Amino acid sequence: MVQAIPAYAMVCFVFPKKFYTKLNSHISNFWWGGDLEGKGVHWTNWGLLSMSKLEGGLGFRDFHKFNLALLARQGWRLVKYPQSFCARILKGIYFAHSNFMEASKGQRAFWAWASILQGRDLLLQGIRWQVNSGTEAKFWENKWIPYVPGFKVTSPKPRGNDFQTGCDAIDSMTKR
């Protein structure tokens, strides 16, 4: 039997794979359980059941993905609200000389910090810069170009090119 775990714990910690497997197993057994002898019919696989309804699935939650999404949300809060109490504490302990997106795990990291870094990895897959003035987005390294697959410059850097940030490539008069 899966023990009750407070919902707020999924926001702070990555749970072990064994826990997710057991939880998903209980859910599938409930839906596919059938009669008292457990002879149910598996109408479709779990992958289809856990797809969103928009994609043709039934919208069941994959708890591992859900847990990572909640941790990514915590990471986004550290980026969005760097002056919050939590962000300042974590910055002082784990990334005093860098920012959250470049922070490393360290050798003696707490479980909560290691978990938030796993959420950051998910965040890095989809995050991109919104260029306003273009002074902060690094031209060659960051994802900042809309309507381009990957939102990033994929061509090799030509010799003699001195573009450092996005604003170096934007015409100040036409804003293009």
Alpha-carbon span 116 to 105, nearest angstrom:
10
Q: Are 130 and 104 in contact (CB under 8 A)?
A: no
Quickly state the pLDDT bin for 88 (edges 50, 70, 90): very high
Report pLDDT digits (tens) over 1-33.
445 555 556 667 888 889 888 887 887 777 777
Q: Are 57 and 51 in contact (CB under 8 A)?
A: yes
What is the reported pLDDT for 32? 73
Report pLDDT digits (tens) over 119-147.
998 888 887 777 765 567 777 777 777 78
What's the gap between Cα 109 and its chain centre?
Answer: 19
pLDDT over 60 (residue 96): yes
Q: Two tokens at 94?
A: 């784990």
What is the reported pLDDT for 126? 80
Report pLDDT digits (tens) over 40-49.
777 777 778 7
3-state secondary structure of 125: helix
Rounded to a whole number of angstroms, the distance between the first and last alpha carbons of the chain is 60
Rg of the chain (C-alpha set): 22
Helix (H) or strand (E) run with residue 70 in it: helix 63-80
**Range list of H helices, 33-149:** 46-49, 63-80, 85-94, 111-126
What average pLDDT does this structure show over 50-64? Answer: 84
Q: Are 60 and 27 in contact (CB under 8 A)?
A: yes
pLDDT over 70 (residue 34): no
What is the reported pLDDT for 8? 55
What average pLDDT does this structure show over 65-74? Answer: 89
List the one residue out of 119, 117, 165 whose CA is nearest residue 140: 165
